[in-house]
Structure formats: C-alpha cells, structure tokens
C-alpha cells in the first residue's frame, strides 16, 4: 500500500511540476506575443507619422468650403486637400460661443490614418484652455490615443473622431457638412 501511495505522489508531483512549467512557457509565449504586437503597433505608428509628414510636404490641391448650423457651429470651414484625385487630408474648423476647434484628418486609400484635434475655449472672462488630441489609426482600429503629450486610453472621444473623419470624407460628394458634422 505504501508503494502505491509513493507512486501516486510521484505521479502527482510530476504532473504539478509539468503543469507549472507549461504555465511558465505559456506566460513567456504570451509576453512575446505582447512584445511582438507592441512592436508592430510602434512600426505602424512610425509609418503613419511618415505618411503625415509626406502629405504635409507635398503641394496639394485645396478646396475651401464654409458652412453654418444653429446650435452646432458658427463660421464652419472645411478644407479638402487632394493628391491627384485622392483626398489625403481634411482640415475642419469652427467655433461656437467661447470655444473653437481645428481638426485635421489624414487618409490613405480613402481610410483615415491619423486625427489631430485642437480645442480652445474658456469663459469670456477667465483663463483660456487648449487641449490637443492625437489618434493613430490602422484599419479602423486605434493604435494609440494621446491627449497633449500623454498616452490615454482609447475612449468614446477617439471613436467619435474616427466616425467624424469618415463622415466628413463622405460629405465631400454632397457638400452637406452640417449634416455630416452636427448630427
């Protein structure tokens, strides 16, 4: 009976040890996948930065449009920038009350890759605040979100920015900027 107990204990300890090593291997493998995913995201962000710099260094054709919508925007402006026939950049700006904004959207093959938003505002008497947001996007997925120089969690602001970028891109055909931006 003792012999069988010893065999069972040896077998159990072998299984526990093997299981522990398997967990360590899985953990290391998961860590490698995280590192690999992070490296791929970092590479994609570098590629997006290069594309934005390339776009800004080119002489692009510009189309200027204005719009207004009660309760949404006063003095709204939308500038489309073309590389050939392709929209590669859109700058949308406006103001309402004591606040104003400038939003830049960059595209590759009709898909948004980068959003840069600047919001300025404050009370008529008091301190003016300025916030900047940057969103790096690949295949509709946010790779990195920043407020100022800080990395932030992807939130509804980032998702809203992507949706707005799509809406304003599609609004070029109809020129219904208020419909695209104010709903």
pLDDT, tens digit, 9 for 90 and up, residues 114-125: 999 999 997 777
How many CA atoms lie within 13 Å of 40's alpha carbon, on the beta-carbon side? 7
Q: Are 171 and 151 in contact (CB under 8 A)?
A: no
Residues above pLDDT 90, as percent of the chain: 63
Q: Quick check: 9 pLDDT over 50?
A: no
Catalogue the E-assigned strands of the chain: 61-69, 73-83, 86-96, 99-108, 111-121, 129-138, 141-147, 150-152
pLDDT of residue 45: 94
Res 27: pLDDT: 52
Residue 154, pLDDT > 90, answer no
Nearest residue to 92 via CA among 158, 170, 163, 164: 164
- Rounded CA separation 119/134 (Å): 12
**Helix/strand/coil for 110:** coil
């Amino acid at each position: 009976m003792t012999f069988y107990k010893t065999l069972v204990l040896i077998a159990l300890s072998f299984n526990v040890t093997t299981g522990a090593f398997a967990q360590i291997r899985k953990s290391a493998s998961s860590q490698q996948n995280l590192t690999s995913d992070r490296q791929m995201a970092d590479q994609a962000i570098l590629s997006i930065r290069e594309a934005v710099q390339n776009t800004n260094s080119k002489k692009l054709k510009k189309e200027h449009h204005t719009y207004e919508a009660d309760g949404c925007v006063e003095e709204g402006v939308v500038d489309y920038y073309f590389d050939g026939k392709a929209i590669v950049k859109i700058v949308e700006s406006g103001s309402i009350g004591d606040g104003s904004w400038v939003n830049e959207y960059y595209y590759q093959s009709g898909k948004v890759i980068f959003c840069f938003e600047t919001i300025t505002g404050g009370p008529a008497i008091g301190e003016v605040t300025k916030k900047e947001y940057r969103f790096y996007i690949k295949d509709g997925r946010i790779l990195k979100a920043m407020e100022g120089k800080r990395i932030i969690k992807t939130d509804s602001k980032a998702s809203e920015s992507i949706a707005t970028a799509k809406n304003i891109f599609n609004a070029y055909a109809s020129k219904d900027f208020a419909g695209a931006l104010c709903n």
